[in-house]
Amino acid sequence: MEEGPDAVGARIRTVQDSGASVIVNFVKRLPARPGVYRMIGAKGEVLYVGKAKSLKTRVSNYCNSGGHSNRISRMISETCDMEFVVTQSETEALLLEANLIKKLKPRYNIILRDDKSFPFILVADDHAAPQILKHRGAKKRKGTYYGPFASAGAVNNTLNSLQKAFLLRSCSDSVYESRTRPCLLHQIKRCSAPCVEFISHNDYKKLVNEAKEFLSGKNAKIQKELSEEMEASARALEFERAAILRDRIRALSVIQGTQNVNTRHLEDCDLFAINAVTNTACVQVFFIRGGQNWGNRAYFLKRTNDNEPGAILESFIAQFYDSREPPKQILTSEALPQSALLNEALSLKSNRRVSIIVPTRGEKRKVIDDAVMNAREALQRRMAEGASQRAAISSLSNVLKIDAPVERIEVYDNSHIQGDDAVGAMVVAGPDGFLKNQYRKFNIDTKSIEPGDDYAMMREVLTRRFSRLLKEKNAEVPDLVIIDGGVGHLSTALGVFSDLGVDPEAYGFVVIGVSKARRIGSDGVKKIDRTMGTDCDQIVMPGRPPFIMRARDPALHFLQRLRDEAHRFAIGAHRNKRTKKLSSTPLSNVPGVGAKRKRALLNHFGSAKEIARAKPEDLEAVDGISSALAMKIYDYFHARD
């Protein structure tokens, strides 16, 4: 690729102008070659990313005075600068366009916002007794990967049934090595206990091969073989073994019953179906592997009237496979405007032929029709939920006397036990519900904070969040900030904003504190005020006296949903941190000491305390511990002496 608009990559910036006049200046110098162009706004933000077979021809279209939709006309009027990358082919331009759209998230592009990786099932081959487990992320571990599955739930359900059917171990290698007797999974008939040699190596390997064949789509063959084994065991009066085989067959039937959607003649393919209305669209993605449906996921995209469903689907698919491996076949509900080009790009990316097909009849058309129906129903549900959410936001805005539209709500909460394992949490909500991919957790540095000082914890969380707002040009600005707490917490928040120079009024957001309504009891102690009902909250806002939101107020119910979600997320993050801390040992922080060496050291010395007391020559006596590593371990425990 070459940086354009010419061979030396020269760029012209005329930010004092905007609109078609800026674009005209670039067209004069553009080559008639494939490439990608970016339209830049007044603040340096990327407004739009597009590809072109001929940069000169494509960009010159924006110079025409008429014939543009309202969206395109507005985009042209806001353009103050342009940037170009010249590519060797249109295919290369398509791949680069998808990459840049995902990275830059331009306002005027159709954007795939959910980039979460899909989970797989991994049968690990790096151990004598292979482990079966859920895997997400880079495929670095040696083994066979099956997927993708649409969700972690789909993987968990399948793994649960696979354990019953094939009795493969799911424990980690370190747990496996330390077992001296079978675990509970063996007792409930979900593991064959190779750790204590309740099954021979060859028999366990046979189970592994059967599981791989089943996950590869050879389910009929596996079921037939198990049925024959069960009948043979029954004839030989081995009723206990026959019962075990019967249970395994039942487990396989559960997997097939939940995954089979009449896809007998489909092997490895992905299905994309779209349903679009005036300003939004839903794309349903189904994953078919080995004739089995491995789940689906719905994506919701913003849409304007000039975006045809086929064009939306094409842009979506290009971004979807930017960081994923495409299967051999892709089925779509709509014809794509540049299907051949996308076909070539995906084939080039995966180094094998990829086919994009719009089925018109038969089994493939039936499954596409089912996917379209799912997209339509998901979009209807989304729109209904969105209407309810917008009504709740409007109700809360009225109570708080917020005139501007509220599109982004941020709720902050802390969780800790007497200051230990403190975690701050931010949850985000908007007209479409909770935006979970924008949640954030903050590990709080308690060394500089007095134990239990909730104000100091909130100060650290808000300082970190709003410091980023100042540093990042494209950082999201909230419309409403909700602090879980009363007057003291609100004062802390306002103090943070003052220190940072973030004026809520200038940035256009409102800050409130929410706490349970309390009153002074006869004994002089503050108590929750239940005279107005069990569910009454006190709202504190700058410039207004505290006021109570009464029970049955729709705005109160919405506010409680927001606060409950913040509680749930904060407590979950705190528990995860605490669990990780409890399960770790001082050895976990020693460089070069992994699970195997840690186990050898603990088996030799009995405890981490004894390891800390050991001399280098004693440490070196343990298998796998070299003299250099022994000194590292010794130095780690005696660095503070």
Same fold, 409-580 and 586-638: no
Q: Please state whether the peptide bond connecting residue 119 to the residue before it is cis, i.e. omega within 30 degrees of 0.
A: no
Neighbours of 421 (CB within 10 A): 21
For residue 72, name the pLDDT band (cuts at 50, 70, 90): confident
For residue 227, what pLDDT is reported? 76
**Mean pLDDT computed over every residue of the chain:** 80
For residue 358, what pLDDT is reported? 92
Q: Which residue bears the tokens 């410039």?
A: 543
For residue 92, what pLDDT is reported? 79
Contact 476, 487 (CB under 8 A): no
Q: Report CA 576 to chain centroid distance, whole Å.
A: 18
For residue 510, what pLDDT is reported? 93
The sign of the torsion formed by the CA atoms of 550, 551, 557, 559 equals positive
Calculate mean pLDDT across residues 134-147.
84
Tokens of 335: 């014809």
CATH number of the domain at 269-380, please?
A: 3.30.420.10
CA distance readout (Å), 634 to 79, 259, 454: 63, 54, 38
Any long-range contacts for 578-582 (C-beta under 8 Å, 24+ apart)? 578/417, 578/420, 578/421, 581/421
Of the listed ranges 304-308, 383-387, 583-587, the least confidently predicted one is: 583-587
Calculate mean pLDDT across residues 211-233.
73
Contact 98, 82 (CB under 8 A): no
Tokens of 608: 């981490």
Calculate mean pLDDT across residues 607-628.
82
For residue 257, what pLDDT is reported? 47
Tokens of 455: 């104000």
Calculate mean pLDDT across residues 337-348.
89
Q: What angle do CA 329, 332, 334 make, to 5 degrees?
A: 150
pLDDT(16) > 50: no
Contact 514, 537 (CB under 8 A): yes
Q: Of the candidates 488, 469, 382, which has an alpha carbon nearest to the alpha carbon of residue 426? A: 469
Contact 367, 277 (CB under 8 A): no
In the chain, the amino acid numbered 187 is: Q
- Rounded to whole angstroms, how far apart are CA atoms 184 and 175? 13
For residue 306, what pLDDT is reported? 63
Contact 233, 241 (CB under 8 A): yes
**What are the pLDDT digits (tens) for 550-559?**
777 788 888 8
CATH number of the domain at 586-638, please?
A: 1.10.150.20
For residue 463, name the pLDDT band (cuts at 50, 70, 90): very high
Calculate mean pLDDT across residues 47-68.
86
Q: Please state whether the peptide bond connecting residue 148 to the residue before it is cis, i.e. omega within 30 degrees of 0.
A: yes
Domain map (residue ranges) of the chain: 2-104, 120-259, 269-380, 409-580, 586-638
pLDDT(47) > 50: yes
Three-state SS for 266? coil
Q: What is the 3-state secondary structure (H, E, C) of 383-428?
A: HHHHHHHHHHHHHHHHHHCCCCCCCCEEEEEEEEECCEEEEEEEEE
- Rounded to whole angstroms, how far apart are CA atoms 37 and 557? 47
pLDDT(412) > 70: yes
For residue 610, what pLDDT is reported? 79
For residue 223, what pLDDT is reported? 67
- In terms of C-beta density within 10 A (0-12 exposed, 13-18 middle, 19 or more buried), how is residue 415 classed? buried
Write down the architecture of domain 2-104 according to CATH. 3-Layer(aba) Sandwich (3.40)
Burial readout 442-460 (b: 16 or more C-beta within 10 A, e: otherwise): bebebeebeeeebbbbbbb
Q: Which residue bears the tokens 């170009």?
A: 84
The DSSP call for residue 550 is P
Comparing 565 with 234, which gets the higher pLDDT?
565
pLDDT > 90 fraction of the chain, expressed in percent and rounded: 12
Output phi, psi for 29, to 5 deg. Answer: -110, 5
Calculate mean pLDDT across residues 162-182.
84
Calculate mean pLDDT across residues 137-142.
83
Comparing 244 with 367, which gets the higher pLDDT?
367
Q: Of the candidates 215, 88, 192, which has an alpha carbon nearest to the alpha carbon of residue 144? A: 215
Contacts (Cβ under 8 Å, ≥6 apart) of 188: none
pLDDT > 70 fraction of the chain, expressed in percent and rounded: 85
| Measured torsion, CA atoms of residues 116, 120, 124, 130, in degrees rounded to the nearest 10 | 130
For residue 481, name the pLDDT band (cuts at 50, 70, 90): very high
For residue 439, what pLDDT is reported? 92
Tokens of 358: 């719009």
pLDDT(584) > 80: no
The DSSP call for residue 622 is S
pLDDT(523) > 60: no
In the chain, the amino acid numbered 636 is: Y
For residue 254, what pLDDT is reported? 54
Beta bridge partners of 35: 52, 86
Three-state SS for 214? helix
pLDDT(280) > 60: yes
Comparing 99 with 299, which gets the higher pLDDT?
299
Tokens of 477: 């600005």
Tokens of 374: 């799912």
Comparing 158 with 334, which gets the higher pLDDT?
334
For residue 30, name the pLDDT band (cuts at 50, 70, 90): confident
For residue 335, what pLDDT is reported? 92
Of the listed ranges 16-30, 409-423, 489-503, the least confidently predicted one is: 16-30
CATH fold of 409-580 reads: Nucleotidyltransferase; domain 5 (3.30.420)
